[in-house]
Structure 1
Amino acid sequence: MEPVAEPTVNHDALLADAMKTVRVEDGAAVSVAVLDLDSGASAVYGDGGFDTASIVKVDILAALLLQAQDAGRELTAAERSYAVDMIEYSDNTAASALWRTIGRAEGLDSANGRLGLTDTAGGNDMYWGLTQTTAADQLALLRQVFGAADSELNADSRAYLTGLMGQVAADQRWGVSAVADGSSWALKNGWLPRTATGLWDINSIGRVTADGNGYLVAVLSDGNSTKQQGVALVEAATRAAVSVFTAGRASPAPGAMTPAAS
């Protein structure tokens, strides 16, 4: 008897179906990418480019750590201080200091070439937050940060960066953490009101544990009327993405956190 082939699961199609339940305001856009760390399966919804806002701070620190590895050195005390402020508190002054240290857009793009980000372009020399990226690229970055077998970041660099992402300030614990079991998350969020339109870019990337399983999730959005609307969109998209892999299991505790104004 011929062996029965296992059915092929189209996770992208399942995610597209799940996203039909997510309310998106007129004029807004959202893209999401998710990786099931247990099975290695992934799914992506949307391939458009988005402003990073402050999620690029993870990329900036990854670039700095990669440069330090290449030079065979540890981060300086000043660099570590800036890194804590940049990731845990989303401090923009600290981010600007490290943006200059890595060589601005040129330095970021060079690091991203090694980290496997193919559709990310560093912002202008003065403002890192206008770096353009895709959800798929942010998932590639998360794989590097959270320990892909072929990660360019060594174990110490990964542990340092993920440790900071697990200690973000209380008022920034929203976004992909909406599906997390208790405190099982490590994340970086980004929010940016666009001066010309008054509309908001709202993004969230990180690792979460939901229903006992680990996931990497990246959600990007723009055109949101308010920060609160954007946070709600990002969290709904996160739930939809994780549901692709948790369908048929017990539903995870919601654990959504209310965003504070910043």
Structure 2
Amino acid sequence: MASQRAPRRRSLVYVVLASAVVMGGTGAGTAYMKAQAHADVGRVSSAAAAPVAAGASEEASVEPVADPTPTVAPDTLLSQAMKSVSVAAGAAVSVAVLDVASGDSATYGDGAFDTASIVKVNILAALLLRAQDEDRGLTAQEKRYATAMIEVSDNASASALWTAIGKAEGLAAANERLGLTGAEGGSGMLWGLTQTTAADQLTLLQQVFAENGEASALSGASRTYLQGLMGSIAVDQDWGVSAAGATGTAGGRFALKNGWLPRTATGLWVINSIGRVTTADGREFLVAVVSDGNATKAKGVSLVEAAARAAVSVFTSTDADSDSSTDTAS
């Protein structure tokens, strides 16, 4: 029996427009003619690009192309996450976070804040750079000052090392090498009034916690030393960014430095926290939170901790959503 050729399918647009010709008069007929011409051009182009195989339909079939899944910038995700953080009237907060494994980062807010005692990490980094330049280790006295300054936030020790690095001028020289662009040292001995941004503090943390020498101006020995002190802070200073990680210092769960400063003129508090946190599943994040205008120290601590948790959630929540969608896909 001779094979019969399948009837050609009429395009839906032809059917619709043909109906319109009957119902709509001359205007609809014009639309039909334009559509017919456009369709003919499409068929000619398709035929030129790929000749029709014998026995196949003469009409070119066009497969729909799916749009790629849109992505949302980490900064946007962090801004959305921060909507859940309650910020009291008159207070301000800025946060920056880096997912160590992926290298992705996000920042919320770009204002300058007083450092209070978080500048002590910057002071020690400057001192270590100076010692590197002189091809020496820290002296016994410098180590005593450094330990007290970081672990228990001793101010007298900070003042001694602030002087040793050359105060604001020495800090600026070190920060140029460390890549900090938004920091300005406090006047005279007022190291706690050094100005900084959350983004700059994240840059400093990247210098301290870099895994290879190419990524940091600090030597491996200097980085290890600073990390060790930040991982040995006093128990009563276990607050701030550590709230975004697993509980406890065992296994290097966090390494941080906090800063707090009541302003004499207003009675309001500057509360800051920077460091590395490790989540329960072993993921590492560098987090920097700076704030001011807090009514009390306790309220400032709560604000900083909420901001740190929101920052880390940008990456952990996204991953959880992705895993969930993968599991349910057929």
Instruction: Give TM-score, length-normalised by structure 2.
Output: 0.74
1:192 aligns with 2:261: yes
**Equivalent residue in structure 2 for 1:156, among 210, 215, 221:** 221
**Equivalent residue in structure 2 for 1:17, among 80, 97, 111:** 80
1:230 aligns with 2:295: no
Aligned to 1:171: 236
Letter in 2 for 1:193: P
Report which stretch shifted further, 6-15 or 114-123.
6-15
**Distance of 2:102 and 2:142 partners within structure 1:** 36
Deviations 1:93-137 (A, max 9, x none): 000000000000000010001100001000111110000000000
1:45 aligns with 2:93: no
Secondary structure, in 3 states, of the residue corresponding to 1:120? Answer: coil
Q: How far does residue 192 in structure 1 lie from its aligned partner after superposition? A: 0.1
Aligned to 1:213: 283
**Distance of 1:163 and 1:44 partners within structure 2:** 26
Aligned residues: 251
**Distance of 1:153 and 1:146 partners within structure 2:** 10
Deviations 1:225-250 (A, max 9, x none): 00000000000000100000000556
Matches within 5 A, 1:82-97: 82-97=145-160
Letter in 1 for 2:139: T
Q: How far does residue 69 in structure 1 lie from its aligned partner after superposition? A: 0.3
Change (3 A) 1:227 1:127: same
Letter in 2 for 1:180: G
Q: Which structure 1 residue ranges, 5 or more long, are not aligned?
A: 252-262
Secondary structure, in 3 states, of the residue corresponding to 1:20? Answer: helix
Letter in 2 for 1:60: I
Secondary structure, in 3 states, of the residue corresponding to 1:247? Answer: helix
Q: How far does residue 84 in structure 1 lie from its aligned partner after superposition? A: 0.2
Q: How far does residue 3 in structure 1 lie from its aligned partner after superposition? A: 10
**Distance of 1:209 and 1:243 partners within structure 2:** 13
**Distance of 1:56 and 1:144 partners within structure 2:** 14
Report which stretch shifted further, 210-219 or 87-96.
210-219
**Distance of 2:69 and 2:153 partners within structure 1:** 45
Q: How far does residue 6 in structure 1 lie from its aligned partner after superposition? A: 6.7
Letter in 2 for 1:199: L
Letter in 2 for 1:122: G
**Distance of 1:222 and 1:87 partners within structure 2:** 21
Aligned to 1:239: 309
Q: Runs ≥4 in structure 1, deviation > 6 angstroms?
A: 1-4
Report which stretch shifted further, 175-184 or 215-224.
175-184
Identity %: 67
Q: How far does residue 8 in structure 1 lie from its aligned partner after superposition? A: 3.6
Letter in 2 for 1:97: A
**Distance of 1:172 and 1:7 partners within structure 2:** 42
**Distance of 1:66 and 1:248 partners within structure 2:** 38
Letter in 2 for 1:116: G
Letter in 2 for 1:200: W
Secondary structure, in 3 states, of the residue corresponding to 2:259? Answer: strand
**Equivalent residue in structure 1 for 2:273, among 194, 204, 211:** 204
User: Higher strand proportion, which one?
Assistant: 1
Larger RCO, structures 1/2 (Cα 8 Å, 6+ apart): 1
**Distance of 1:102 and 1:140 partners within structure 2:** 20
User: Higher helix proportion, which one?
Assistant: 2
1:102 aligns with 2:165: yes
Report which stretch shifted further, 112-121 or 240-249.
240-249
Secondary structure, in 3 states, of the residue corresponding to 2:233? Answer: coil
Letter in 1 for 2:287: V
Deviations 1:52-108 (A, max 9, x none): 000000000000000000110110000000000000000000000000000000000
Matches within 5 A, 1:123-134: 123-134=186-197
Letter in 1 for 2:125: A
**Equivalent residue in structure 1 for 2:125, among 58, 62, 65:** 62
